[in-house]
Chain A
Amino acid sequence: MVDLALLIGGPQGGGIESAGQIGVRALVMKGYDIFGVREYHSNIIGAHSYFNIRIRDTVARSPRLPVDAVVALDAESVFTHMDDVREGGIFVYDTSTLKTRVDRIAPMPGPLKERVKAKLSQHGLGDTVADAVKYLESRGAKLLGIDLKAAIKEVAEKSGRSVVSVARAANVVGLSAALAFLGVEKEYVHRAIEAYFAGKTRVIEPNKIAADIAYDYVEESYGLGNLPDGPHKGKVRMVASGNDVVAMGKVVGGLTVQTYYPITPAADEALYMEGHRLVEVREELAEKVGLEKLGVAVIQTEDEISAINMAIGAALAGARSATTTSGPGFALMNEAISMAYIMEAPVVITIWQRAGPSTGMATRTGQQDLLHAMFAGHGDAVKIVVASGDHEEAFYDAIKALNWAEKFQIPVVHLVDKTLAASTKSLDRFDLDSITIDRGKLSYEWSGGEYLRYKLTEDGISPRVPVGFAKQLNSSLEHTEYGYAIEDPEVRNAMVEKRLKKLDAIERGIPEDERVKVYGSSDADITIISWGTVKGPVLDAMEKLEDEGIKVRYVHIKTFIPFPVRTIDEAFKSASRVAVVDYNMLAQTSLAIRMFTGHKAPHVIQKFTGRALQEQEIVRAVKEILENNVERVVVSDGA
């Protein structure tokens, strides 16, 4: 079985993202399943960033530490990740930095410097990269030193370019050295470089030379590794980030308007979509709809308030409409969420959660906006809240969210997070036949006399004719069936009842198997309940724990409104032990569970650092709970 992990670190602006993407592509071409997540600072250039890639012949879905290979492109990366490589793993570093002292590294956080110095001094070592290398040797790592300065000079000479213009290719030298060692053939790295820098010949050539230099060096000094091809060899696959797949889901799901105000980590979704604002219609359907290309209007607004209000306006006019944001932006959208609810406007809000409170740690992850999403909107405003656990879920959920918004004429929040946004996954073809696009009671024609936008109906959902196709009133005030403002007690009651009926329709219309997924069986030693990107690390930890004789059941919540009351209730009743994984301070998931089911989770596993949750953290936490009956386990792996 192949299960490898590779970490590549360096300064932001130093091509860490490119190295990660090239690495992921090379490994996918080699036939493996890949999950790669990028950790980075809120900074453009200089601060430390790294990419953690998981390589498996089964399913890759979480990062893990320690890794099998670290590529440290600068001194800070050596110090930061000197404990992240396993015994016998490879550690690639730049020999031209050997004399660099910890205190000379300006971007490195002071407390980390102190921890590194203390650790090295415990081992009787000084505070240079050379000392860290000795420390790594003592831990049993295989050191692979490359003089990156000299390598870049060589790239410049061989490509006939200036040293400055090819300096960033240091990332490919480092990455290639690790891949050569692991046994990935050079042709995959070349192909990955060509694919990633598609068409940019002036970038492709020096990078291929950089790969050659690394491969030659490793071959001469250590010998190339040997890795069999992975099981996906020969397949056509996709390599996409969470941001990408949500954009894809929306476009496939028939989105026609997307608004946004720039915010991390949501903006990349909108940008990716904007790059694909004109898409080809499936060949077999082009003639049927009479169009070869479809447009998606992606509009950058002046703020998030405008983004949501514009999306609502577009929805009123008949567009399939969404906006994308993060916690701070969603906070600004609050008032309009309530308007969308009373106006019965179908709109989707994608929330890419990041670490708060306030601006907090803008490029880090978390699940801190669960209650925010559930309760946003003043005055009894309700919405559907759906959360995605991985790339595939996110793709299909983006479509579902659009369907539910139009079917139930209600705002839908799609909760995702920075881990998903910044992680890259290998994906197989989506099942297009399983996708249905549902626009509910939408019609572009009206011939039934005066059109009543808020007509009282059996299921609380009124026929929807867009603005422009029947004279109508849409009102944020309590209103009559036509839409006139009114405060009459009986009409008020009728309208509240109408909106309540709609909630019943949602209860009936979203079955339990769309609200929750259960992995494992009820005779497990422990049941873990969680949601979102906790899924990958928990499923991976389940496998590891199973090997050690510990059986885990995982209950993965997909929708918080409507809540999977029956399944959660049953899980508590049948489980010998229950732990909730809650990536936030308040244990918000546990609170939601208690609110809807009355069950109080006896154990909670929490993380606050904003770094992606990892497999080994769950393994450790579960053992801690089972062995010591600990109520609250806080994990914090990852630099």
Chain B
Amino acid sequence: MKKMTAVTGNEALAEALRQINPDVCAAYPITPQTDMMQRFSDFVADGLVDTEMMLVESEHSAMSACIGASAGGGRVATATSGPGLALMWEMLYVASGMRCPIVMAVVNRALSAPLNIHCDHSDAMGARDSGWIQLWSENAQEAYDNFIMAFRIAEHPGIRLPVMVCMDGFIISHSVGVMDFLADDKVQRFVGNFTPQDALLDVERPVSYGPLIVTDQYHEYKKAQNEIMDSVFAVTEAVASEFEYLSGRRYGLFESYRLEDAEIGIVVLNSAAGTCKDIIDEARENGVKVGLLKPRLFRPFPYAAVAEALSHLKVVCVLDRSDSFGAFAPLYVEIAASLYPREQRPVLLNRIYGLGGRDFMPEHVEAVINEMTDIVSRRIAATPKKYISLRQYY
């Protein structure tokens, strides 16, 4: 029988870390992630794990330490949020470029200025081109499951790339939800032993990490990184089916919710998908054919499969919890790029919601659905980019 437990997202990931017991964890406190590493530090202090903790003096150093430790030849994990991820930016590229299979929880938080500690996806979106694999999670259960699967994807011999697992700050990290934890031995067996490649600590076989690469090879390095990303889809799916066998929970590259016969659809990441699904169920009862697509693997991005899932719709509204000032927001851009090759494609809307933790409420989903319905019935014209739940409308 499954043992269901009520925990916060941070507790869930601290628990996953306890079960995985990585060789080295380097971290720096930042809200809303802090609470996760605090909990993990308790496990270290109480001898429940024998991970070497490095409580460094900045996130830049946290990622630098992770890179050194990973190159050393062992399993490494860390966590951060918002400005912490931004401070890591330079080192994110080094981690992926040096093929360090580091796993990092990103508890999504807004970037300054103005200072804001609440949920926003600008942090992870800013890192989307850094060569990291990105898994996004709707709730604590998904974050926990993604985090465990992340080690298998990162450490796959054909991949050896870092993975960030995103979950919404406060909304998930600090809210209690119901969770099904896997047994410790099941997690340990699933994750398996770490297999080092080119271990720096192998003094019998000295390697040099991080040469200067000039114009003769850099271009090819980057193309090759792109090719490795292409293999991530199959590995992610294979790991997910193994995980399904273990947990009974099924994960694809994205989740399609009531899309097959839908006329209109919402695309949204992370926790807001839960709210949307509830309202979609209500709208369905009123005869509105609406569905939802929730990307799980955002890097690499499964363009063709997403296009296949969305192209039959008449209107799609992409909800972004981050922005690109003077441009469309990041998720919208990917959906537009997915659909462009299709002859038949929906009208696309970009709606910015929930920046800096602004509540995303059922009525906002209803408004989005109503707007799409009005566009289908040609009552209104489509406005490409708008902000929802702006205070001036209250």
- Whether chains A and B associate is no
